Amino acid sequence: MRIVFTEPALADIEDIRAYLLTHYSHVAPSVERRLRIVLSRISEWRESAPTVAQRPRVHAVSLIRYPYKVFYQITKERIEILHGYHTSRE
């Protein structure tokens, strides 16, 4: 299934990338690689991530080794990436 990024999601991912490149440049490529793996997984198994309690149509998937989550929703035509957050954020 096709994955599309919302404008807020693109901004979130760019902020994360810029932060990592500034403060943890040695980790940035690994986080980017893990993000690609996670996106590939949800494109194949879109229901594999749990839904968010407050928003039952929104799924949240963790990047496992890294403290980030990706939030997405599924429509008939695509998977929309809504946001990317550091897990310490509210």
Question: Residues 39-45: contacts with CB within 8 Å, 24+ apart?
Answer: 39/3, 39/70, 39/81, 42/3, 42/70, 42/72, 42/79, 43/1, 43/2, 43/3, 43/79
* Residue 51: predicted pLDDT: 94
Each residue of 23-50: pLDDT tens digit?
999 999 999 999 999 999 999 999 999 9
Sheet with 2-5: strands ordered across: 2-5, 78-86, 68-74, 55-62, 51-52
Predicted local distance difference test score (pLDDT) of residue 88? 77
- Model pTM score: 0.90
CATH numbers and ranges of domains, the chain: 2-86 (3.30.2310.20)
Q: What is the pLDDT of residues 45-89, one digit of tens each?
A: 999 999 999 998 999 999 988 999 999 999 999 999 999 998 876
